[in-house]
Amino acid sequence: MSETRLCTVYADPEPQRLDRALALAFPDLSRSRLQALIREGHVVVNGMMVRDPAAKVSTGAAIALDMPPPGPADPQPETIALAIVYEDEDLIVIDKPAGLVVHPAAGHEAGTLVNALLAHCGESLSGIGGVRRPGIVHRLDKDTSGLLVVAKNDRAHQSLSAQFADHGRTGPLERAYLALVWGAPQPSRGVIDAPLARSAHNREKMIVTKGQGRHARTHYAVEERFGAEPVASLVRCTLETGRTHQIRVHLAYRGHPLLGDALYGPGFKTKASRLPAQAQDALATLGRQALHATLLGFAHPTSGKAMRFESPPPADFSRLLAALRASF
């Protein structure tokens, strides 16, 4: 069933836009969503339907907003086991396994995290942009494991999206990753500041560019070295920006691609021969880039409370780490 919301405009001396008046009255709805509702004929001002989001409304104007029920999501719900770290009416935090794609796309129309969340959350999804779907505010690569937060409603989606766009500059957003890399970056702690763009030769790859790339900054710290002249090392990375493949590209750019990264470290495959047999076997079993999202912190979109979650590396990553520790 649809829901009718009522409000009265309290404007400045000058009339204001209809979409802005509604955004002030109903902060749980995004402005783009309100603009769509206006254009679709769901808003009545002083008894008359208005379809122009820029229409001016004055103090005292009575507005009725007809909220249609959320429409069905295009992806189909699928029962897929999820490691749920935290859940409430606004959001859900997942410890994503390696191999799980976050969002349906060409070649991955089903079997994704979104399909799983549609089945798990069901009616608790109040609709993102008018569609009953989870609000994806950040992503992890298919073969990266670890923590990921998803919004259940428009209000939470707006708040979390703003926090991720701010990258923790003014709020409590934290993201930290553990990576196993070839060699050991020097100095042992630092910042990689290098813009990224999509490769013109391989659309699956991102590259460091001196041209029209997007600003990207990765902070890193070497936590462990394996070997007197390190064959590999454990590196902790925190993000100041959140670009596609950012950690993988930045570390490869510095000459230290992730172990198991076939896309950004193919030239390092022969390095595996320098590993003892136990570590070679563990790397072969890993079969993916050795990257895990181990820490996630943010402000709760409703209460404002600082939320902080940690995830130890999964079994495949831990097995390789243990083998490296035992080998050197």
Catalytic annotation, residues? 141
Residues 6+ apart with CB under 8 A from 14: none
Identify which of 181, 97, 204 has the alpha carbon closest to the alpha carbon of residue 143. 97
d(CA 302, CA 159): 9
Structure tokens at 32: 């783009």
| HSE-CB for 204 with a 13 A CA cutoff | 6
Q: Across-strand partners of 308?
A: 297
Burial class from Cβ neighbours inside 10 Å (0-12, 13-18, 19+) for residue 289 reads buried
Q: What is the DSSP track for 102-168?
A: SS-BTTBSSSSHHHHHHHHHGGG--BBTTBS--EE-----TT-EEEEEEESBHHHHHHHHHHHHHTT
The answer to whether 131 and 152 have CB atoms below 8 angstroms apart is no
